[in-house]
Amino acid sequence: MPPRNWKRFRANNLPDALRGCKDYALQHRQMSVARIAELMGGVSEDSLYGWLSKGRMPAVLIPTFEMVCGVHFVTDWLAASAGRMVIAMPKGRKVNDAELLQINEDCTKAMTKLAAFYADPSKVDTAELMELLQRHLEQVAFQHQNVGQYIAPQLEFES
């Protein structure tokens, strides 16, 4: 399997999201489907293969599946399909220059594509534009919350 840029991965449908989680677990955690099924609390390997191939998994098992795989592609897809955006909860960490430059680069790409869209919509890939705008909104919302965490940090629990 060729390496994939998982930070930019966006599922197009539920089966794609389920397979994305499985592929991530395989690539980054060296987990087989059998191991994922085992860590999900005794789910049979055959059941998991069936859910992955049909794109249907019991909703109650989605959080466990994502926790075992280490990514939340199904939750992200479910939210996006309902017209919602999911933002990772910031922990109030300082960002580095490379992250800020990436935000700036992504913003520039989104705004350039948006200007081209309004100039002539027929010449712009709207799916790509939507993805660029989504990514930019997520980045800005994350930084908004991150700054908020700095202003009002969470209290440390005593041991």
Domain assignment present for 159? no
- Which of 81, 111, 141 lies at the terminal end of a domain, its last residue? 81
Do 63 and 13 fall within a single domain? yes
- Cα distance from N-terminal residue to C-terminal residue, the chain: 44
With beta carbons less than 8 A apart as the criterion, state whether 43 and 61 touch. yes
Residue 37, domain member (yes or no): yes
User: For 28-73, how does the pLDDT look when each residue is reduced to its tens digit (9 = 90+)?
Assistant: 999 999 999 999 998 999 999 999 999 899 999 999 999 999 999 9
- Angle between helix axes 97-119 and 126-151 (nearest 10 degrees) is 140
Query: For residue 76, what is the domain's CATH number?
Result: 1.10.260
116 lies in a domain? Answer: yes
d(CA 93, CA 13): 32
Among 81, 108, 130, which residue terminates a domain? Answer: 81
Residues 69 and 102 in one domain: no
In contact, 48 and 78? CB cutoff 8 Å: no
Whether residue 58 is found in the same domain as residue 101: no
Structure tokens at 73: 């592609």
Q: How far apart are CA 70 and CA 29, in angstroms?
A: 8
Residue 89 falls inside a structural domain: no
Q: pLDDT at residue 77 above 60?
A: yes
- Could you read off the pLDDT of 95-125 as tens digits, one per residue? 889 999 999 999 999 999 999 999 999 999 9
Question: How large a percentage of the chain has pLDDT more than 70?
Answer: 91
In a domain? residue 87: no
* Number of domains present in the structure of the chain: 2
**126 with 77, same domain?**
no
Listed residues 27, 55, 81: the one ending a domain = 81
Is the same domain home to 60 and 124?
Answer: no
Residue 33 belongs to domain spanning: 6-81
Residue 142: what residue type? Answer: F
At 144 the pLDDT is 85
Domain identity same for 75 and 123: no
Residue 127 lies in a domain: yes
Q: Are residues 12 and 69 in the same domain?
A: yes
In a domain, 31, yes or no: yes
Q: For residues 107 and 130, what is the distance between their CA atoms, to the nearest angstrom?
A: 13
Residue 90 lies in a domain: no
